[in-house]
Amino acid sequence: MSGSADTTFRLRWERFGPEVEAALSALYGDRAAEVTERVRGLVRAAFDARPDDLRELDERRLLSPDWLQDPRQVGYVAYADRFAGTLAGVGERLDHLAGLGVTYLHLMPLLRPRPGANDGGYAVMDYRAVREDLGTMDDLRALTARLRARGISLEVDLVLNHVAAEHEWARRARAGEPRYRDYFLTFEDRTGPDAYERTLPEVFPDFAPGNFTFDDQLGAWVWTTFNAWQWDVNWANPDVFCEYLDIICHLANAGVEVLRLDAIAFIWKRLGTSCQNEPEVHHLTRALRQAVRVAAPAVAFKAEAIVGPDDLLPYLGVAEHHGKVSDMAYHNSLMVQLWSCLASRDTRLTEVALGRFAPKPTTTTWGTYVRCHDDIGWAVTDADAAAAGLDGFAHRAFLSDFYAGLTPGSFARGLVFQHNPATGDRRISGSLASLAGLEAALEAGDPGSVADAVARVLLLHAVILGFGGVPLLYMGDEIGMPNDAHWADDPAHADDNRWVHRPRMDWDAVAAAEADPDSPSGRILAGLRRLVAVRRATPHLHASVESRVVPSPDPRLLLLRRDHPLGVMLQVYNVSEEEVRLPAAVLADVLGPTASELLGGHAWNLATDVVGVRPYAALWFVPGP
């Protein structure tokens, strides 16, 4: 190792080592100094092993620390096998991604899962190996290099709340090795589990009720928040911390640039609580994040915390953690609100819900999305509903009915996922196109309904591309792929209807959409490309700037304002199939007498009484002609 590398390491450790130690002190008390030394050794080894091309990437990222906030970022989320068969196959499909302007690819779980049912790969048996049918670690390295050459960053899931019951740690725990038993949360009898259960929610009440599973070999109950074969790990044990840090460094040195911290909210348990969002979660994230900055500054963290607004912001760093934890978090509330206002044709609840959000740290960004591989849970609080003049329970029930297609006049074709009779919750599965009405409209053969559905798909995308964050396009949505009618054919999937919106990519349909830009799929693809092109050219969309709600005089419109140093931007979205006449003064007050509408490319005269906002229109205004 050259002297300059030693200096680099020394400077980084001087900068971030104390951060690591402070976070570890909050977690491990007296043991913090010893654990910090172990961390130093781990990150030094990873630093030394870092390949040259990734060192170069580190330097690039250090020169552009806001890389994830840049409006040129466009994300895409896909299952490697369903998208292209294998990791090598993904490398053959980069033209499609480039055609969408993609700069960021989240490949769904690709590390080796347990055999059989594995929760879509979220039950990992070996974090240092790739799923056999997808390829090898070398294939992963080759793919990241290929992606980097095209300016695409790879994101991979880090499942850190639990491992598969078949993971070596669990196997050795069952074999009686005390060291590994301490990697898990085990209980001799029901006393502990019963005490915790009093305040624990149910994640999968249908197919995995309860949060604990009795294991015969262990002779004990083991904590299993998700499925019985997903064993929660014990982060109160510093050995677990060091194991995961080492895994992160290993993936980073394979070229992974973003780690999706799966189910991060759940990793610390405290009696008498829901065991989500505990303060230690943020200390843990901070210790990992600051340690990784030493070994691999190019790497970023994305928090998968599907929690309420007050609990969400801490994942991006509030108070002492400001700017020191995850770089990005899913904006679940925005996603839920998009679906809510589309069903109700009313944005008042959305105004309340988005208005609740305090500004995020200016160095962080949202992951904005319309659909993902999971179900949609109606995260609408009773308080927000009441503030919008609604009953929370009734509105959540309305949304479930609407998207399950049970409400008369509903355009949606979704499925109910995990009905919980205790809370009345009914989450919803379904693809974007099916939930937005395209499936039903095509079946009915009604061109007007098809046009509305296409417009809804583009409207939702306009919001996630315009909100400020990395828009995460979900595979198949770019051509409006409907629900997979055959989702239950695979016995390992049959009890989990989230597979209805995890179809195999239909490449023939992509080719057809390219060939016929007037077809519904062709219109979606072309419309999306247009949105992406305008986004990339609009510096106002840098994620350091907040989107703030402007109260709309008409409940069918959502108005978002972005105060960028370059000038103001005002976005107008019509969530209804009706033309809305809006007093022009509402726009003129913000924009002045004339405005450029960027998506349509026209100048608007606002020195008039009213302007017409077309059905499902998305308008991005900046001042001036």
Of 63-92, binders to ligand GLC (CB under 6 A) are none
For ligand GLC, which stretch binds (CB under 6 A), given 115-123, 186-194, 423-431, 587-595? 115-123
Q: How many CA atoms lie within 13 A of 315 on its CB side?
A: 30
For ligand GLC, which stretch binds (CB under 6 A), given 116-124, 430-438, 517-525, 596-604? 116-124
For ligand GLC, which stretch binds (CB under 6 A), given 89-97, 117-125, 179-187, 436-444? 117-125
Query: What is the rounded CA–CA span in Å between residue 300 and residue 319?
Result: 20
Which of these is catalytic: 304, 351, 439, 477? 304
For ligand GLC, which stretch binds (CB under 6 A), given 118-126, 269-277, 406-414, 499-507? 118-126
Nearer to ligand GLC, 122 or 339 (CB): 122
Which residue shows structure tokens 């297609």? Answer: 405
SS (H, E, C) 552-620: CCCCCEEEEEEEECCEEEEEEEECCCCCEEEEHHHHHHHHCCEEEECCCCEEEECCCCEEEECCCCEEE
Residue 119 binds ligand GLC, judged by CB under 6 A: yes
Nearer to ligand GLC, 314 or 520 (CB): 314
Minimum CB separation from ligand GLC for residue 55, in Å? 32
578 is catalytic: no
Minimum CB separation from ligand GLC for residue 336, in Å? 15
CA distances for 431 relative to 31, 59, 490, 498, 502, angstroms: 48, 40, 18, 9, 8
Classify burial at 149, counting beta carbons within 10 Å of its beta carbon; exposed 0-12, middle 13-18, buried 19 or more: exposed
CA distances for 163 relative to 170, 177, 229, 305, 374, angstroms: 8, 17, 8, 18, 19
User: Token pair for residue 328?
Assistant: 């990005």
Query: What is the rounded CA–CA span in Å between residue 241 and residue 235?
Result: 6
Which residue shows structure tokens 């911290």? Answer: 261
Residue of 122, 187, 223, 231 that binds ligand GLC (CB under 6 A): 122
Nearest in space to 478 (alpha carbons), one of 67, 18, 77, 22: 77
Residue 263 binds ligand GLC, judged by CB under 6 A: yes
Minimum CB separation from ligand GLC for residue 430, in Å? 15
Minimum CB separation from ligand GLC for residue 374, in Å? 5
Nearer to ligand GLC, 119 or 278 (CB): 119
Residue of 159, 294, 438, 470 that binds ligand GLC (CB under 6 A): 159
304 is catalytic: yes
Residue 569 binds ligand GLC, judged by CB under 6 A: no
User: Token pair for residue 48?
Assistant: 């030394």
Contacts of 616 (CB under 8 A, 6+ apart): 452, 455, 456, 458, 459, 574, 575, 576, 577
Of 200-229, binders to ligand GLC (CB under 6 A) are 226
Contacts of 300 (CB under 8 A, 6+ apart): 68, 257, 258, 259, 327, 328
Nearer to ligand GLC, 235 or 616 (CB): 235
Nearer to ligand GLC, 263 or 590 (CB): 263
Minimum CB separation from ligand GLC for residue 386, in Å? 28
For ligand GLC, which stretch binds (CB under 6 A), given 114-122, 247-255, 288-296, 613-621? 114-122
The CA R_g of the chain, rounded to the nearest whole Å, is 24
Query: What is the rounded CA–CA span in Å between residue 528 and residue 522?
Result: 10
Minimum CB separation from ligand GLC for residue 233, in Å? 12
Which of these is catalytic: 119, 139, 257, 262? 262
Residue of 182, 374, 578, 597 that binds ligand GLC (CB under 6 A): 374
Site string for ligand GLC, 283-322 (x = CB under 6 A): ---------------------x------------------
Residue 243 amino acid letter: E
Nearer to ligand GLC, 122 or 616 (CB): 122
Nearer to ligand GLC, 46 or 159 (CB): 159
Minimum CB separation from ligand GLC for residue 612, in Å? 41
Minimum CB separation from ligand GLC for residue 321, in Å? 22
Residue 120 binds ligand GLC, judged by CB under 6 A: yes
3-class SS of residue 368: strand
Q: How many CB atoms lie within 10 A of CB 311?
A: 15
CA distances for 388 relative to 350, 383, 574, angstroms: 9, 9, 18
Residue 155 binds ligand GLC, judged by CB under 6 A: no
Residue 559 binds ligand GLC, judged by CB under 6 A: no
Residue of 81, 262, 484, 554 that binds ligand GLC (CB under 6 A): 262
Site size for ligand GLC (CB under 6 A): 10
User: Token pair for residue 225?
Assistant: 């928040």
Nearer to ligand GLC, 9 or 229 (CB): 229
Minimum CB separation from ligand GLC for residue 260, in Å? 8
| Sign of the CA dihedral with 330 first, then 333, 334, and 337 last | positive
Nearer to ligand GLC, 109 or 297 (CB): 109
Nearer to ligand GLC, 101 or 414 (CB): 414
Residue 468 amino acid letter: G
Diameter over CA atoms, the chain: 79
Minimum CB separation from ligand GLC for residue 416, in Å? 17
Nearer to ligand GLC, 231 or 620 (CB): 231
Minimum CB separation from ligand GLC for residue 122, in Å? 3
Q: In this chain, which residue has its C-beta nearest to ligand GLC?
A: 122
Antiparallel, parallel or unpaired: β 567-574 and 557-564:
antiparallel
Query: What is the rounded CA–CA span in Å between residue 170 and residue 218?
Result: 9
Nearest in space to 477 (alpha carbons), one of 443, 441, 527, 517: 527
Residue 341 binds ligand GLC, judged by CB under 6 A: no
Just list the catalytic residues: 262, 304
Which residues sit at the interface with ligand GLC, rule CB under 6 A?
A: 119-120, 122, 159, 226, 262-263, 304, 373-374
